[in-house]
Chains A and B, each alone.
Chain A
């Protein structure tokens, strides 16, 4: 038996972001994996000393491009709780619509990259074509494609007119049809199944113990979704978390695929319940106190801890991102895998290094 160490990354065709895995390989089977981070560490948490709490909203949005809207929303919710203000119902519902659209484009991005990691280029193109519809609708309603900057402390910045709401409904209809068409490829295709089934199995108990979050945890059979706590406008809508029991790459793929349809349902019922009225509550106060706020991001639960002392600058902002929590699960999954499966299994947990390191 030959033992060798293979460094994967920091630049690797499958990992779009820089992090390094040192894989100890015994005859093509990984026996140990050691990650190395620090390539995109930006120290965003430490920026609270130089930016005031309103400017930090823009920093929070830029922690990660893909979950931008929900990062901004969670930060604003935390500050609003400290200030003791509630955004108007219309603003809450608009936040829901935009964060679900964000979840859709994130999941479609993941599905596309997953197909690419399998070597299925044409499926990747097909999924990115569907994603473009979602990106267009985001640009049409907010003005930006990815970092939509709609959340401000006390509400939202952009309003949605009847025309915009109709545009979203039309786009969702198109996306639903397109997604339905690729379902047989993702679920039944022989080569896709061969590549994803029984690969990288994360058992239910192990996933919970390691603190995995989001679609990874739900694919292992645990029904946990922070949206069920009913923050914002989520309390008005009724939904069940999407759960699969396999715990392998196929299950993680199915969870995200089904969550796309769940998001579309949420957006549709959100648009139907959109009430008229103000979109911002203004406040001149400064935040004071300690708070812990959680939201469900496309990749799982995000936790914001804020300590403020009533001045313009926050004392401490701590962000526990979902990808950071899933990293422990990933390092537990890798030993025992074939070397050829490492990129796919790594990608199936949706690692985002910009989030992980902040």
Chain B
């Protein structure tokens, strides 16, 4: 287990991120780790060289709220996670629909083997 990590529910992520934002934390990055039946999502934050992490355990077919409205730099991390794990982010802007790093013909999720992508590359779906 990582140091100073708190486990949060996906629907309470927004309020937790908002708290951190108000207290002057900066979004450092996001990490996705595949596990049985879902993906562990880590949000790393930094303030004055100290780190804190939020962990969201996602289930299959779960949509995660985007924190892009609180941390404007989050879109790049979320788009990458969407590419690698096929997790859907609600309110992601700009949404590359899994074309951020991947080609049009890639259907698999590269880092998370065996899980089919839940984000369609067709616009409007």
Is chain B in direct contact with chain A in the complex (CB below 8 A)?
A: yes
B49 touches A325 (CB 8 A): no
Cα(A229)–Cα(B1), bound, Å: 21
Within 8 A of B (CB), among A285-329: 290-292, 294, 301, 303, 305, 307, 315-316, 318, 320, 324-325, 327-329
Is the CB–CB distance between B71 and A327 below 8 Å? Answer: no
Given contacts A34-B94, A41-B102, contact A291 B2 (CB under 8 A): yes
- B1-37 contact mask (Cβ, 8 Å, vs A): 1 or 0: 1110000000000000000000000111111111000
Nearest neighbor of B27 in chain A, beta-carbon distance: A211
A167 within 8 A of B: no
Residue total for B at the interface (Cβ-Cβ under 8 A):
32
* Contact, CB under 8 Å: B26 / A292: no
Q: Which residue of B lies closest to A211 (CB)?
A: B73
| Docked complex Cα distance between A76 and B76 (Å) | 27
A320 to B30, CA, bound (A): 8
Those of B62-79 within 8 Å (CB) of chain A: 71-73, 75-77
Say whether A324 contacts B76, CB under 8 Å: yes
Closest to A224 in B: B49
Measured in the bound complex, the distance between the Cα atoms of B71 and A226 in whole Å is 21
Q: Which of A29-54 contact B (CB under 8 A)?
A: 34, 37-38, 41, 43, 45-46
Who on chain B is nearest to A32 by CB? B94
Is B103 touching A38 in the complex (CB atoms < 8 A)?
Answer: yes
In this assembly, does A210 line the interface, its C-beta being within 8 Å of a C-beta of chain B?
Answer: yes
Q: Give per-residue flags for A320-356: 1 if the beta carbon is below 8 A from chain B beta carbons, else 0.
A: 1000110111001000000000000000000000000
Q: Once the chains bind, are A320 and B29 in contact (CB under 8 Å)? A: yes
Does B115 sit within 8 A of A, measured CB to CB? no
Known A-B contacts A41-B102, A45-B111, A291-B2; A328 and B31 likewise in contact (beta carbons under 8 Å): no
- Would you call A38 and B110 a contact (CB within 8 A)? no
- Asked whether any CB of chain B lies closer than 8 Å to the CB of A265, the reply is no
A211-B71 in contact (CB<8A)? yes
B89 part of interface (Cβ distance < 8 Å): no
Q: Which residues of A contact B51 (CB under 8 A)?
A: 292, 294
| Cross-chain contact B110 with A43 (CB below 8 angstroms) | yes
Whether A189 is near chain B, meaning CB under 8 Å from some CB there, is no
What is the CB-to-nearest-CB distance from A22 to chain B, in angstroms, rounded to a whole number?
11
- Cα(A301)–Cα(B77), bound, Å: 15
A residues less than 8 Å from B27 (CB atoms) = 211
Q: Is the CB of A328 within 8 A of B73?
A: yes
Interface residues of B in 81-125 (CB under 8 A from A): 94, 99-103, 110-111
Cα–Cα distance between A344 and B31 once the two chains are bound (Å):
32
Q: Which residues of A contact B34 (CB under 8 A)?
A: 316
| A209 in contact (CB, < 8 A) | yes
Q: Which of A45, A212, A228, A305 has the most C-beta atoms of chain B within 10 angstroms of its own C-beta?
A: A305
Contact (A327, B103) CB under 8 Å given A211-B27, A290-B1: no
Given contacts A34-B94, A46-B111, A303-B44, contact A228 B53 (CB under 8 A): no
Contact B101 A37 (CB under 8 A): yes
In Å, the complex CA distance between A208 and B77 comes to: 16
Let me know if A357 and B28 touch, CB within 8 A: no
> Contact partner of B73 among A210, A226, A303, CB < 8 A?
A210
A328 to B80, CA, bound (A): 13
Known contacts A209-B72, A211-B73; A320/B28 CB under 8 A: yes
B28 touches A318 (CB 8 A): no
Q: Quick one: which of A212, A224, A325 has the most chain B CB within 10 A?
A: A325
Residue from the list B28, B33, B100 in contact with A37, Cβ < 8 A: B100
Which 7 pairs from chain A and chain B are nearest by CB?
A320-B29, A328-B73, A211-B73, A210-B73, A318-B31, A41-B101, A38-B101
